Structure 1
Amino acid sequence: MNLSILILIVMSLVSPSSAAHADYQDLKNDFETYAPPPYFESRTRSAPVPADAELPQDTDFETEKKRIREMKTLWERSLSITGKETSYVRIHSARLKKLRPAASDDKLAIARVRRKFSLADLEALVLLRNPGIRAEENRLRAAAETFSQISELDEILRKYTAYTEALMPGVGPMKGKDPVKMKFPFPGILALKGQIVNQEVKAVHENVEVARRKAVTAARKAYWNLVFVRKSRKITGETLKHFRQLETVATTRYKSGTTSFQDVIKAEIRREILEEDLRTLREKQRNIEAKILELLNLPPGVQLGNPKDRKPAGKKISLKSLYPLARENRQELRRMRAMIGKMERMVEMAETMILPPYTLNLSLYEDEAVMKTGSAAMKESFPVSTSASRGAGLPKMPWYGTQDAYLRQTRQKLRALREDLRRAEAMTATMVRNAWSELDRARREAALYGNTLIDLSRSALDVSTRGYESGTVSFADVTGSYTNWLRVRLTLDRKRSDIGIALADLEEAVGTALK
Structure 2
Amino acid sequence: MRLLIVALLAPAGCAAPWRPDFDRLESDVGLAAARYPALALEPDLSGTLDVETLLAAARARNPELREALARTRAAIEEVNRAGALDDPMLRYRPWAVPLDRAYDLGAAEMNMVGIEQTFPFPGNLSLRGEAALRDAEALHQMYREKEREIVARVRKAYAEYFALSRELEIRAAHMQILDEFEKTSDSKFRTGKAPKQDVLKPQVELVMLRDEILALEQRIGSARTEINALLNRPPDAALGKPAYLAPAEERFEMKELAATAVASRPELLAAALRIKSSRAGLALAEREATWPDFSIGLDYMQVPGGDDAWGGMIGINLPWITGKRSATKRKMEHTARADEIALEAARVRVLAEVHAAFLRVEAARKSLLLFRGEILPVGRESVDVSRSNYEKDKASFLDLLDAERSLREIEVRYERTVAEYESARADLERAVGVDLRRKP
Letter in 1 for 2:67: A
Q: Would you say 1:296 and 2:218 are equivalent positions?
A: no
Output the CA distance in 2 between the equivalents of 1:415 and 1:216.
Answer: 33
2:4 corresponds to 1:62: no
Deviations 1:246-292 (A, max 9, x none): 12222333343333333333222211111122222222222212211
Change (3 A) 1:457 1:236: same
Partner of 1:274: 209
- Equivalent position of 1:251 in the other structure: 186
1:199 is matched with 134
Distance 2:8 2:290 in 1: 27
* Deviation larger for 125-134 or 406-415: 406-415
Aligned partners of 1:326 and 1:509 also within 8 Å: yes
Q: Give the superposition deviation at 1:307.
A: 2.8
Larger Rg: 1
- Which residue of structure 2 aligns with residue 398 of structure 1? 321
- Give the deviation of 1:436 after TM superposition: 0.4
Cross-structure match for 2:385: 463
Once the two structures are overlaid, the 10-residue window that deviates more, 438-447 or 288-297, is: 288-297
- Tell me the distance in 2 between the aligned counterparts of 1:347 and 1:396: 16
Instruction: Indicate yes or no: 2:413 matched with 1:478.
Output: no
Name the CA shift for 1:152/1:423 in 2 (closer, same or farther; >3 Å): closer
1:492 Cα deviation after fit: 1.6
Q: Does 1:134 align with 2:134?
A: no
Tell me: CA distance 1:506–1:312, structure 2 relative to 1, closer, same or farther (3 Å). same
The SS at the match of 2:31 is: coil
Partners of 1:102 and 1:258 in 2: how far apart?
Answer: 71
Q: Is the 8 A contact 2:295 2:314 kept in 1?
A: no
For the residues of structure 1 that align with 2:90 and 2:358, how far apart are their CA atoms?
58
- Measured after TM superposition, the shift of residue 165 of structure 1 is 7.9
1:323 aligns with 2:258: yes
Whether 1:235 and 2:167 are equivalent positions in the alignment is: no
In structure 2, how many angstroms separate the alpha carbons of the residues matched to 1:415 and 1:441? 40
1:419 aligns with 2:354: no
Q: Per-residue deviation at 1:189?
A: 1.0
| Alignment of 1:104 onto 2:40 | yes
Q: Deviations over 1:468-490 (max 9, x none)?
A: 11111111110111011111111
Cα deviation for residue 454 of structure 1 reads 0.9
**1:308 paired to 2:243:** yes
Structure 2: runs of 5 or more not aligned: 93-112, 300-308
Are the structure 2 counterparts of residues 128 and 332 from structure 1 closer, same or farther at C-alpha, using a change threshold of 3 Å?
A: same
In structure 2, C-alpha distance between the alignment counterparts of 1:497 and 1:194, rounded to whole Å: 47
Distance between the aligned counterparts of 1:233 and 1:165, measured in 2? 78
Relative to 1, partners in 2 of residues 1:377 and 1:509: Cα closer, same or farther, differing over 3 Å?
Answer: same
Distance verdict in 2 for CA 1:157–1:355, change over 3 Å:
farther
How far has the Cα of 1:328 moved from its partner? Answer: 2.2
Change (3 A) 1:56 1:217: same
- Tell whether the 8 Å contact from 2:88 to 2:115 is kept in structure 1 after alignment: no
Q: State the Cα deviation string for residues 382-424 of structure 1 (Å, max 9, x = none).
A: 9xxxxxxxxxxxx98312x343243223313322332232122
Give the structure with the larger strand fraction. Answer: 2
The yes-or-no answer on 1:148 pairing with 2:99 is: no
Partner of 1:74: 25
Partner of 1:28 in structure 2? none
Whether 2:56 is the aligned partner of 1:124: answer yes
Partner in structure 2 of residue 173 of structure 1 = none
Q: Hey, what's the Cα distance between the residues in 2 that align with 1:303 and 1:64?
A: 54
Q: Does 2:285 correspond to 1:350?
A: yes
Task: Give the total of aligned pairs.
Answer: 403
Match for 1:318: what amino acid? E
Letter in 2 for 1:117: L
- Equivalent residue number for residue 213 of structure 1: 148
2:185, 2:54 → 1: CA distance?
47
TM-superposed CA distance for 1:150, in Å, is 2.1
Deviation sequence 1:427-486 (CA, Å, 0-9, x none)? 211111110000001110011001111111111111100111111111111011101111
| 1:451 alignment partner AA | G
Tell me the SS of whatever aligns to 2:15: helix
**Aligned pair in 2 of structure 1 residues 377, 293: CA closer, same or farther (>3 Å)?**
closer
Partner of 1:436: 358
Q: 1:406 to 1:155 in 2, by over 3 A?
A: closer
Q: Aligned letter for 1:326?
A: A
Q: What is the identity, as a one-letter code, of the residue corresponding to 1:397?
A: W
- Partner SS, residue 64 of structure 1: coil
- Determine the C-alpha separation between the residues in 2 that align with 1:452 and 1:136: 47
Q: Which residue of 2 aligns with 1:360?
A: none
Find the aligned partners of 1:236 and 1:397 in 2 and give their Cα distance: 79
Instruction: State the secondary structure of the residue aligned to 1:122.
Output: helix
Q: Is the 8 A contact 2:285 2:328 kept in 1?
A: no
For the residues of structure 2 that align with 1:414 and 1:469, how far apart are their CA atoms?
79
The TM-score, its normalising length taken from structure 2, stands at 0.80
Structure 1 residue 324: Cα displacement: 1.7
The aligned counterpart of 1:93 is: none
Q: Is the 8 A contact 2:289 2:320 kept in 1?
A: no
Q: CA deviation at 1:507?
A: 0.7
| CA separation of 1:117 and 1:368: change in aligned 2, threshold 3 A | closer
Residues 506 and 270 of structure 1: is their aligned pair in 2 closer, same or farther, counting only changes over 3 Å? same
The verdict on how the C-alpha distance between 1:246 and 1:102 changes in structure 2, with shifts beyond 3 A counting, is: farther
- Using the TM superposition, give the Cα deviation of residue 215 of structure 1 relative to its aligned residue in structure 2, in angstroms: 1.6
Structure 1 residues 483 and 499: CA distance shift in structure 2, 3 A: same
Matches of 1:496 and 1:116, distance apart in 2: 19
Check the 8 A contact 2:296/2:314 in 1, yes or no: no
Change over 3 Å in CA distance of 1:324–1:312 after alignment to 2: same
Structure 1 residue 125 displacement after superposition: 1.1
Where 2:245 maps in the other structure, the secondary structure is coil
Match of 2:423 in 1: 501
Q: 1:338 to 1:67 in 2, by over 3 A?
A: closer
The one-letter amino acid paired with 2:238 is: Q
Contact kept? 1:69, 1:148, Cα under 8 Å: no
Q: Secondary structure at the match of 1:336?
A: helix
Name the counterpart of 1:114. Answer: 46
Query: 1:253/1:309 Cα in 2 relative to 1: closer, same or farther (>3 Å)?
Result: closer
What is the CA–CA distance in structure 1 between the aligned matches of 2:115 and 2:66, rounded to whole Å?
49
Query: How far apart, in 2, do the equivalents of 1:223 and 1:381 lie?
Result: 67
Distance 2:319 2:239 in 1: 73
Q: 1:165/1:424 Cα in 2 relative to 1: closer, same or farther (>3 Å)?
A: closer
Q: Distance in 1 between matches of 2:19 and 2:326?
A: 29
